Structure 1
Amino acid sequence: MSTQPVAPQDATDPFNKPTADFILRSSDNVDFRVHKAIIIEASPTFEQLFGRPTDALNPDGQRDGLPVARLDETSKILDALLRRCYPVVSITLDSPQEVCDALDSARKFMMPRAEKEFSEQFAARAEREPLSFFAYATQHYGWEKEIAVAAKASLQFPFDPTTPQLQALDAMWYRRLHVYHTACGNALAEQVLHQYEYYDSRYQYETEIIDDGIVHLCSTLVSILITRMESQKHRTKTQKRRRRTKNMPLSNRKSPS
């Protein structure tokens, strides 16, 4: 029994205008009616796409008399991209995957404005979910900058091997991130011990991908380490006092008042 093809759905405003002269169809079968003149100004890749024969764009050819081009992007990502071409309010991307997919598509279609905005979203969101963004960034070729941004942001949290995002990492990237965390911790300890002297070169990160975050990070994390050291010192004193009290003869202990 054959299944009937799903009829394409129309996108919401502003991509449902009757004045549009082209349809971009998302991978989940949503049609975005666009104006070629506007899209071409934002992306030279779309200009090449619009110049191709209709039959090469989509086997369905046309809809409502308009040529159709089927794209790999979902409707959520395509909506986010196209809103960077029109003077309309942008939508919010909910997940790390959506932000990364949008950034990847902006680069694919050579849309500098959209790329800049999604790159800024990546950096801001990576501060809150660094491991998720690190994992997605490692899946894209040429994302050295994003990998470094997410790796640096991940230093806010301990390197816990039981974290699902770490367990899902490729073995090579897991090791690199672990080495990076270890190197930064060693460099930070070196800073405290040597009163903010320049960190020893042996702690330099071993690859070319994440190689400049350590020095800038040390000065901002010194206070955190000092606080932890003071807390540990206080706990140690408390434990020693309790041990002395426990070993003290009962006759020498102060009775509670």
Structure 2
Amino acid sequence: MPSTSTTISTSETFDYSDADVIIRSNAPNQVDFKVHKLILRLSSPFFESMFTLPKSPLQQTSVDDSLPIVDMSESSTILDKLFRMVYPIPDPVFNNLDALTPIVQAAHKFDMQAVLGSLRRVIVTPAFLDKEPMRVYAIAATYDFGEEAKIASRYTLRLNLLDYPLSIEMKSMSGYYYHQLLQMHRTRGKAAKQIIDSAKLSCRYSCHSSFWTGWKSDAAVELSERPVGDVVFSQEFMYRNERSTCERASAGSQYCNRVNVLIDLKKAIDSLPDTI
């Protein structure tokens, strides 16, 4: 459909003198990308099919160089990043998931498998996994990126899924993947609790009736929400369950095997399955 926008500029990066097609971004601030059909055809079955269709008598052509114009529904920002990933120039840098998500969506729409391969590696970089593992998992689940979903699922163990705020990525995630994640959390939490319940402590200063009882109870609650050992074995979590000064003096000595028991417990919990 011919554009009615009066604000049309040309991309500074994609303004090739030997271009044979203009890809025009969505209104209102439209940008013309003067690019090569061959490169787009090789990168995307979508464009390959488009360029093999008979030319419509209503199709626009540019005034200056008579190049065919293809109007797209994507913004100039999205098209710029996509084209940077198919042309032999440096790939764009993604500093946050808000910028990355629409690029994944567009690459999936155009069936750009090489671009998707690169984006799959980007979404599981530590910066994203450490900060927003649930959003990463949701993106991977939406596009059936199985390996990336497994990687992200491990990082979600630090989250209480039922208290985690909703994100737009979760809206398009399948119930199958979400159920897998809930099941992994639940199964790991139960297994961790069983490991703790079965542990025995030997202490002449009654750790069992003071520290041990309190810690086991609190750890069971914590692991049911976040089934990862980092919190329950932290010094902060431990010391809030201390009940007497004699425990601090005796723990780790010949009179109390608490330290060794806790080390073994952490190893056992850390070894539990931690991906979907």
Compute the TM-score of the two structures, normalised by the length of structure 1. 0.64
> Matched residue of 2:69: which SS?
strand
2-side partners of 1:166 and 1:35: how far apart?
37
Structure 1: distance between partners of 2:170 and 2:42: 39
Contact 2:20 2:35 in 1 (8 A): yes
Contact 2:135 / 2:170 at 8 angstroms: preserved in 1?
no
In the TM superposition, residue 143 of structure 1 has moved relative to its aligned partner by 5.0
Preserved CA contact (<8 Å) 2:10 2:33 = yes
Contact 1:97–1:136 (Cα < 8 Å) also in 2 = no
The secondary structure found in structure 1 opposite 2:22 is: strand
Q: 1:150 aligns with which of 145, 149, 152?
A: 152
What letter corresponds to residue 132 of structure 1 in structure 2? R
Aligned partner of residue 236 in structure 1, secondary structure: coil
1:187 to 184, 191, 209: 191
Structure 1 match to 2:89: 88
Q: Which amino acid aligns with 1:184?
A: R
Stretches of structure 2 that go unaligned for 5 or more consecutive residues are 200-226, 246-276
Aligned-partner Cα distance in 1 for 2:120–2:107: 10
Give the counterpart letter for 1:105 in structure 2: A
The structure-2 alpha-carbon separation of the partners of 1:175 and 1:113, relative to structure 1 and needing over 3 Å to count, comes to closer
Displacement of 1:30: 1.7
- Structure 1 vs Structure 2: percent identity of aligned residues? 24
Structure 1 contact 24–69 (Cα < 8 Å) conserved = yes
Q: Distance in 1 between matches of 2:131 and 2:238?
A: 30
Tell me, in whole angstroms, the C-alpha distance in 2 between the residues paired with 1:98 and 1:23: 24
Letter aligned with residue 44 of structure 1: P
Question: Which residues in structure 2 correspond to 1:94-173 (within 5 Å)?
Answer: 94-124=95-125, 125-137=128-140, 140=142, 142-143=144-145, 145-159=147-161, 161=163, 163-165=164-166
The letter of the residue matching 1:236 is N
Provide the C-alpha distance between the structure 2 equivalents of 1:158 and 1:99, rounded to a whole number of angstroms.
25
Distance 1:103 1:42 in 2: 14
Cα gap change, 1:110 to 1:18, in 2 (>3 Å):
same
CA-atom RMSD in angstroms? 3.6
- How many angstroms apart in 2 are the aligned matches of 1:106 and 1:87? 17
Seen in structure 2, the aligned counterparts of structure 1 residues 46 and 134 have a Cα distance that, compared at 3 Å, is same
* Distance change in 2, residues 1:81/1:188 (3 Å): farther
Q: How many residues end up aligned between the 2 structures?
A: 207
Q: Which runs of 5+ in 1 are unaligned?
A: 196-217, 242-257
